[in-house]
Amino acid sequence: MAANMYRVGDYVFFENSSSNPYLIRRIEELNKTASGNVEAKVVCFYRRRDISHSLIQLADKHAKELEEEKESPTETDLTEKQKHQLRHRELFLSRQYESLPATHIRGKCSVALLNETEAVLSYLDKEDTFFYSLVYDPTQKTLLADKGEIRVGPRFQADVPEMLQEGEADDRDQSKLEEKLWDPECPLTNKQIDQFLVVARAVGTFARALDCSSSVRQPSLHMSAAAASRDITLFHAMDTLHRHNYDLSSALSVLVPAGGPVLCRDEMEEWSASEAAMFEEALEKYGKDFNDIRQDFLPWKSLTSIIEYYYMWKTTDRYVQQKRLKAAEAESKLKQVYIPTYNKPNPNQISMTNGKMATVNGAGPGAYHAAGGGRACESCYTMQSAQWYSWGPPNMQCRLCVSCWMYWKKYGGLKMPSRAEGPEERTSPSPASNEPRSRSHGPRQSNHMVPMRNSGSPKSSMKTKQAFLLQATRLTKLARHMCRDIIRLRRAARRPFVPINCGAIKAECKSSFNSS
């Protein structure tokens, strides 16, 4: 019962094609449609076979850099088979969402951010376990490091200098060190500091009354006083005290210079209503990814300004109202859904018909008759299996055993490295399936890459054309000019099957050489 209960946040296998590997998705929402069916809003994860070869090279370079940073590299200790299967466990996170029918769920899996402190073999030891370290953008076709990576290693550690002995000179560059902004041992009492802060708030309120733009944004006295009581005013007051060596009279004169009272504004006051609305829209789309928020929505704002505004915005009533609305929406949505175990026969399943092999869906007329009855599994080369499945294009007549078929569906590759997949698995076969893909999902299959059979099978009908070069010797080049009365090049080129009298040409060349 618990295995068939799927909840928001679960990583699951989705089947959108009977021949292709499962899709790996994370459930974000479960929504009930008007027809009574349940649809899952999911986050897309991509396999290596779904991205271009250039991006795979970039991913391998990133993995190599991570391996070099480790104190004890483990990649060199892996066998070729382990390296091959480890590539099947690597995924690429994306920010792409799609909606899929919940009835297409085929089981749970586990996806985790690559843990640099954990041995990579641990991912192979666990069933249905995957990892990711890069984020794939299917629109821009880019790969970027996940900003949530675990920062472990020497490059993320601080270098703690040795403690200075008493009387030892400090030769560090003081301009690069921290600056002291407040002295807790100052001569002023807490009451005097509080009185100065009250004066600073009063000056801020008066400054807003004089400022035309502030009087429009805060039309009432209460709003102006509330804005003047924010942290920006208090920070300015305490900084003024510190800069004037905690002399109250000197600091007060700075708060109200000759030009009028000092007006201190924070990000909440600087941003317009339209900018605030754009920020909320961006936050809904990207979450707390402030770099993307700035790039796509607020490019004229600095990253510091956006981050400061976010933490101030979280203290407003607007944030509290949105949080309540989201909580109410979450209460009305489904928390979990029960999906019974899928036990319908796969169309690629091979059945026995009168002692001959035939596919359930009839992949091709006579595709699995006596000629295909004794073929081994394309992955593990076994000859015995409780059930066989057709794999790859129908003209190739490839098949997989039960174990290798489940491995193909879950991990998107074959157990054993073969010429069919190559070092980067870019030659994975294109299954012969006419089933439509789910919307907004677009992994492309390679059309020109056909699996090469390893043993006992006919060669592919699509052969690679090899170029050749016919290089003439110097004697042949001379003969073309010296024996023009014997060799008629145009006539010989038009009749390639008519033999040329090479003996007469040699004799003519020798006589020409002797006479000259």
Query: For the segment 442-483, what is each residue's pLDDT rounded down to a tens digit?
Result: 444 433 333 443 333 333 334 455 666 667 777 777 777 777
377 vs 227: CA distance, rounded Å: 74
Q: Where do the structural domains in the chain lie, given as residue ranges?
A: 3-69+77-143, 188-264, 271-330, 374-415, 479-491+499-515
| pLDDT higher than threshold 60 for residue 75 | no
| pLDDT higher than threshold 60 for residue 53 | yes
Residue appearing with tokens 């009835």 = 103
Query: What one-letter code names the amino acid at 438?
Result: S
Q: Binning pLDDT at 50, 70 and 90, where does residue 116 land?
A: low
Between residues 116 and 256, which one has the greater pLDDT?
256
Query: For the segment 375-400, what is each residue's pLDDT rounded down to a tens digit?
Result: 788 888 888 888 999 988 888 788 89
Q: Backbone phi, then psi, for 274, in 5-degree steps?
A: -65, -40
What pLDDT shows up at residue 216? 54
Cβ-based neighbours of 148, under 8 Å, separated by 6 or more: 113
* Range 3-69+77-143 classified under CATH 3.10.20.600: no
378 vs 389: CA distance, rounded Å: 10
Between residues 218 and 351, which one has the greater pLDDT?
351
Query: For the segment 182-195, what is each residue's pLDDT rounded down to a tens digit?
Result: 888 889 899 999 99
Cβ-based neighbours of 294, under 8 Å, separated by 6 or more: 301, 302, 303, 306
Which alpha helices (DSSP H) does 357-401 contain, by range?
none
Query: For the segment 275-291, what is each residue's pLDDT rounded down to a tens digit?
Result: 988 999 998 888 888 88
Distance of CA 155 to CAs 74, 178, 290, Å? Answer: 19, 21, 24
| Token output for 117 | 């402190």
45 vs 11: CA distance, rounded Å: 10
Using a CB cutoff of 8 Å and minimum separation of 24, what contacts does 114-117 make?
114/66, 114/149, 115/150, 116/66, 116/69, 116/70, 116/150, 116/152, 116/153, 117/150, 117/152
Average pLDDT for residues 327-348, to the nearest whole number? 84
- Of 135-139, 328-332, 433-437, 463-467, the range with the lowest mean pLDDT is 433-437
What pLDDT shows up at residue 26? 95
SS3 77: helix
pTM (2 decimals)?
0.55
Between residues 322 and 14, which one has the greater pLDDT?
14
| pLDDT higher than threshold 60 for residue 109 | yes
Length of the chain counted residue by residue: 516
- Of 81-85, 110-114, 118-122, 336-340, the range with the lowest mean pLDDT is 118-122
Q: Backbone phi, then psi, for 12, in 5-degree steps?
A: -135, 160
Average pLDDT for residues 88-109, to the nearest whole number? 92
- CATH architecture, range 271-330: Orthogonal Bundle (1.10)
306 vs 283: CA distance, rounded Å: 11
Cβ-based neighbours of 17, under 8 Å, separated by 6 or more: 431, 433, 435, 437
| Token output for 30 | 């479960």
- CATH architecture, range 188-264: Irregular (4.10)
HSE (CB half, 13 Å, CA atoms) of 283? 17
Highest-confidence segment of 149-153, 248-252, 326-330: 248-252
What pLDDT shows up at residue 101? 92
516 vs 514: CA distance, rounded Å: 5
Average pLDDT for residues 4-24, to the nearest whole number? 92
Distance of CA 260 to CAs 193, 211, 213, 217, 506, Å? Answer: 23, 11, 16, 20, 110
What's the per-residue H, E or C state across 179-241? CCCCCCCCCCCHHHHHHHHHHHHHHHHHHHHHCHHHHHHCCCHHHHHHHHCCHHHHHHHHHHH
What's 374-415's CATH class?
alpha beta
Between residues 322 and 70, which one has the greater pLDDT?
322
What pLDDT shows up at residue 201? 85
| pLDDT higher than threshold 80 for residue 82 | yes
The number of beta carbons lying within 10 Å of the beta carbon of residue 145 is: 11
